[in-house]
Amino acid sequence: MNTSIKQKKELWPKFVKACESQWICGGDRYKLTEDKEFTDLVCEAAGNQWIGGNIVKYTGEIINAEGPKLEVDFFKIAVYAFLWWIKEQDNLTGRDTGEEFNNEEKTAEYSRGTKIDLGFSPRKEASV
């Protein structure tokens, strides 16, 4: 099935609402502290690539799923992609914006690669 711009415009709000529901429920379910989820802890231990592993896992589930489970897995992939994007903001912007990057060694490690100035960061600026 081909998709038109019209279809995308019509379905985008539904997609965003479903992702938001998945995001909020996941945030409550995986809360570690007021400011941190278990996902943050896992990323600190294993690196942000762990999120990519989850995306691959849910892609595999989509291949074998049908019905409501199939749709939920699509939204999980979208939410994990968003989470990975948030966590890569330091790398993308070349700025140190998160508390877990407040030392020079980690800042250098995460700031390698192409610098793209998005003009904002979803994480609050760390006070120095």
pLDDT at 56: 94
Phi-psi region at 113: left, alpha or beta (left = phi > 0; alpha = psi -120 to 50): left
pLDDT at 98: 58
Q: What pLDDT, in 10s, does the model give residues 53-74?
A: 999 999 999 988 877 778 888 8
Tell me the mean pLDDT in the region 33-54: 88
Interval 86-110: pLDDT, tens: 888 877 777 766 554 444 444 444 4
Least confident residue range of 3-17, 69-83, 95-109: 95-109
Q: Give SS3 for 37.
A: strand
Query: In this model, does residue 123 exceed pLDDT 80?
Result: no
| Amino acid 127: pLDDT | 38
| Residue 33: per-residue pLDDT | 87
Domain coordinates in residue numbering, the chain: 5-87, 89-128
Least Cα distance to 50 among 88, 21, 89 occurs for: 88
